[in-house]
Amino acid sequence: MQNIGAKSVNAGTSYDYTTFIADIPKNELEKWLTIEAERFNKLVLRGFHTELETVYEEFNISQDNDSRKVFNQIMKGLFGNHPYGHHAIIGFGEDLKKPSQVQIHEFYNEYYIPENIILMLSGDIDLEEIQTIANQTFGNLLKKSKSTQQDLKFRLNHYVSKEYNVFGNEMPFMMMAWPVEYKSQFDYDKLLLLKGLLQNGKSGLIDKNLLNTQMVLEAQSFTYLFKEGGAFGIYGKGIENQSLSEVKEQFLKQIELLKNGEFEDWLLEAIINNFILNDTKFLETNKGRVQLMNFVFTHQLSWDFIENRVERLKKITKKEIVEFANDILKIDPVVVNKLQGVDENVMKVEKPPITPIHLNNQMTDFGKKINKMSVKANSPVFTNFKEKIKFYALNDSLNLAYVNNNTEGLFELHWIINEGMNEKPLLGAFYQYVENCGTNKKSLQDIKNELFRYGLQIDFSIGNEKTYISLTGLELNVNIGISLVYNWLLNLVADDDLWNKIVKQIKIQRANDKSEKNEILRKGLVNFAKYGFESPYLNQPNTDSLLEMKVGDLIQQFKNIIFKTNEIYYLGNLNPDSIVSELKKFHILTIKNNSKVIYDEKVTTSNNIYFVDFPGVQVDSLMFSVKQNKLENKDKIIADVFNQYFGVGLSSVVFQEIRESKAIAYSTYAQYGYANLPNKKDYFQAFLGTQPDKLNLAIKTMLDLINHYDLNSNELNKTLDNIWKKIENHRIPSNKIYWQYTHFKEQGLDIDINELFWKLKTAYSVESVLDFRNKNIMNMPNNILLIGDKKNIDFEFLKQNGEIQELSIEKIMPY
């Protein structure tokens, strides 16, 4: 797959289907279809025992995943003895202890049959040509015995509501859900509307009565639309000193309002308009279109059902949706409380003795056949940023960057401010207040209702370096949106009670982060490795100091921040002059930004091990090295070649040696990353997600690969060819043109970096990659960032790899 330039190659299994996914160059489709037809025609269980060990690893990891534990319990409670209830996707521990290759072959022969497979393609394709090739390849699939179709429709007659408790490290949260026995396929439509009425991010009952009033910390409605049955539910997390029982009672009050029809009449129409908006965005991409086709196929729907769904939604009345709500919500829900504590039911599947597999990299006859197939080369298309992006002056120091949108009816408008948390550590807390605050003329709910009715969305994104204010949605309402943005930010009301609630939410969120392994590793430990204790991450004000502030002072400090905008970017189809004219009505002032605050990343000069004690089944290790020298732009493609060959993807050396051959880590990768800003440094990182009993071997193997593995010149040449194929087929979509332009500009380029690589194509070789590895990868000092249960870690072994420093979560995370 890598040799034909395929990207995003993956597979996934759900309750109703298994999918095999790939992003294929247009000129390689015949090769891809030939490869896939071969795979689906003959099953050979190579690497069975190491793959089984990987499944054990994934199962054991799931024992640390509180969300997965809650989901599994919800499914058992909802569906009972139906396969949805008693078949976990990964399986249960007892099942995994007795695997059978015979049963795998039987399953394959029953379900991997022509009648049960659909080929879904989306892109710039010739339909007749594809049909011909598909018939020549998939048309030759061996006929097997047809699978027996059983009646698996879910029935409510065996359902029993119950409340469960599960335990884990994360902060408490809860889920409650009602099973849905489908009466017709039109229930999909009603469930969609029901979800939006209860919670849609702005104007649903939960939004209006609980989230916008800080009655709960987090809440979200959800649906499960499985083929044989469904579910409707709510997830929630409480505010300070609020029990999960109290959260449940708040949700049940909103359910009663829903059943009584106590919601605004305009809300149904607004939900449908927002569905159209989101659907249009979703179907902009090939991936989105294929996912929709997959839903239609697996649920055995007609395409007319999808094409006509908007018209059907518009015909559903308030009376019908209230009747539907009363029908499915008349029973008591399943409730699962996720409590903080030791899980006594953790089941760890012990790994069997593993003999590493010798990986055979010799080319097979089939592989030679694929390589001999002729392919018409594609010519690369490089985006001309000067043609695609037009600039219009709002005043002497502020421009509007304009890009024409390929998707009719939608727009994006972004205010880009060259000031972030580095300069203003209070910015994050300020915008959290803004998102919950009204103005002197409109309440928060009035603002959110307007946004929802007109199909608009306002977002605030605050980084260390920059701040982004974004307005997106239906282009016909862009002027309404622009007015809302300025009037909201310039007329905030000072509400100290609200501010105190926001600070308490920040305190709870920070406590949540300290119970999330990934947050501790990726933010706490990585920032410590980069900066030590003087980091932008730790420079956030503590919650005690926030409580002492008067919110009026905070508003005064940031009241005019939108006037600090350095550039405004518009993506759409309206005349740019009309956008400039509308913006000029409100953007009446330009304020110069203060000088930038730079946090210097510390070059890694010695071997260190930074360890955080965190109870659990799994241990995560991240080798992280900040580099002294930065790659020149022309050399970044060499890092890309090295990454693809050595450490990123299913075919990489790291994945093949550590997971496929030895099965000593479930998740692993290694890559060289280059700086995206002038004041940043390059870095190298290598990740291992494994179990304590495999950690020593996993670290040793990774270090051996980094420092001693002999790179294969033939494979490197293939990887270099694949990079050129990807460049030939790469196209920047209209909604990413501006962001790519600014990304390259920050690296000192005024052209697409792929165009630079292509111009220098003859200068790159295997020797370039070998030289890069010798200078930048081999024998480099490393920080090993480690998080896991202290009592299961072999510190004597770790001492051989660097000086050990144990860090407390409180020292490396904001409080």
The DSSP annotation for 720-780 comes to HHHHHHHHHH----HHHHHHHHHHHHHTT-SS-HHHHHHHTGGG--HHHHHHHHHHHTTT-
797 contacts: CB under 8 Å, gap ≥ 6 = 696, 699
The 10s digit of each residue's pLDDT in 284-304 is: 899 999 999 999 999 989 888
Helix or strand holding residue 178 (H, E) = strand 173-180
Report the pLDDT value the prediction gives residue 90, as an integer from 0 to 100.
Answer: 82
CATH number of the domain at 2-65+81-151, out of 3.30.530.20, 3.30.830.10, 3.10.580.10, 1.25.40.10?
3.30.830.10
Q: Give Cα separations from 240 to 206, 499, 509, 512 (angstroms).
A: 18, 14, 10, 12
**CATH superfamily entry for domain 156-340:** Metalloenzyme, LuxS/M16 peptidase-like (3.30.830.10)
Residue 352: DSSP 8-state: P
Q: Does the structure show a pLDDT above 90 at 799? A: yes
Question: What is the bridge-based pairing of β-strands 467-474 and 456-462?
Answer: antiparallel
How many CB atoms neighbour CB 52 within 10 A?
A: 19
CA dihedral for 469, 474, 477, 478, sign (positive or negative)? positive
Q: Does the structure show a pLDDT above 90 at 610? A: yes
Report the pLDDT value the prediction gives residue 145, as an integer from 0 to 100.
Answer: 66
Which residues of 157-316 form beta strands (DSSP E)?
A: 163-168, 173-180, 218-225, 230-237
**Any idea what the Cα angle at residue 659 is, between residues 658 and 661, rounded to 5°?**
75
Report the pLDDT value the prediction gives residue 723, as an integer from 0 to 100.
Answer: 92
The 10s digit of each residue's pLDDT in 107-155 is: 888 888 888 889 999 998 888 999 999 999 988 887 776 666 677 889 8
The 10s digit of each residue's pLDDT in 387-421 is: 999 999 999 999 999 999 988 899 999 999 999 99
The helix/strand/coil state of 653 is helix
The 10s digit of each residue's pLDDT in 624-667 is: 999 988 999 999 999 999 999 999 988 899 999 999 888 899 89
CB 665 within 8 A of CB 690: yes
Mean pLDDT of 712-737: 92
* 47 or 208, higher pLDDT: 208
Report the pLDDT value the prediction gives residue 384, as an integer from 0 to 100.
Answer: 96
The 10s digit of each residue's pLDDT in 220-230 is: 999 999 999 99
Q: Does the structure show a pLDDT above 80 at 344? A: yes
Residue 492: DSSP 8-state: B
The 10s digit of each residue's pLDDT in 501-546 is: 999 999 999 999 999 999 999 999 999 999 999 999 999 999 999 9
CB 400 within 8 A of CB 569: yes
734: which strand partners? none
Q: Does the structure show a pLDDT above 70 at 351? A: no
Report the pLDDT value the prediction gives residue 108, as an integer from 0 to 100.
Answer: 87
Q: Give Cα separations from 53 to 7, 350, 663, 690, 693 (angstroms).
A: 26, 9, 6, 11, 13
Q: Do the two domains 2-65+81-151 and 385-494+550-586 of this chain adopt the same fold?
A: yes
How many CB atoms neighbour CB 577 within 10 A?
A: 11
> Rounded CA gap, 739 and 470, in Å?
13
Q: Does the structure show a pLDDT above 90 at 199? A: yes
Architecture of the domain made up of 608-812: 2-Layer Sandwich (3.30)
Mean pLDDT, the chain, integer: 92
The 10s digit of each residue's pLDDT in 585-605 is: 999 989 988 789 999 999 999
Q: Does the structure show a pLDDT above 90 at 71? A: yes
What is the percentage of the chain residues whose pLDDT exceeds 70? 98
Query: What is the CATH number assigned to the segment(s) 385-494+550-586?
Result: 3.30.830.10
The helix/strand/coil state of 363 is coil
Reading the block at residue 434, the tokens are: 């803004």
Q: What's the pTM? A: 0.89
Q: Does the structure show a pLDDT above 80 at 358? A: no
The 10s digit of each residue's pLDDT in 707-722 is: 999 999 999 999 999 8
Report the pLDDT value the prediction gives residue 796, as an integer from 0 to 100.
Answer: 95
Report the pLDDT value the prediction gives residue 202, as an integer from 0 to 100.
Answer: 95
Report the pLDDT value the prediction gives residue 814, as an integer from 0 to 100.
Answer: 86
> Rounded CA gap, 488 and 436, in Å?
11
> Rounded CA gap, 471 and 458, in Å?
5
Report the pLDDT value the prediction gives residue 148, as an integer from 0 to 100.
Answer: 64
> Rounded CA gap, 146 and 87, in Å?
23
Residue whose C-alpha is closest to residue 6's, from 31, 30, 23, 29: 23
What is the spatial order of strands in the sheet that 410-417 belongs to? 390-395, 398-404, 567-572, 410-417, 467-474, 456-462
Confidence of residue 354 (pLDDT cuts 50, 70, 90): low
In the chain, what are the domain boundaries? 2-65+81-151, 156-340, 385-494+550-586, 608-812
Report the pLDDT value the prediction gives residue 618, as an integer from 0 to 100.
Answer: 86
Report the pLDDT value the prediction gives residue 352, as an integer from 0 to 100.
Answer: 64
7: which strand partners? 23
Q: Does the structure show a pLDDT above 70 at 789? A: yes
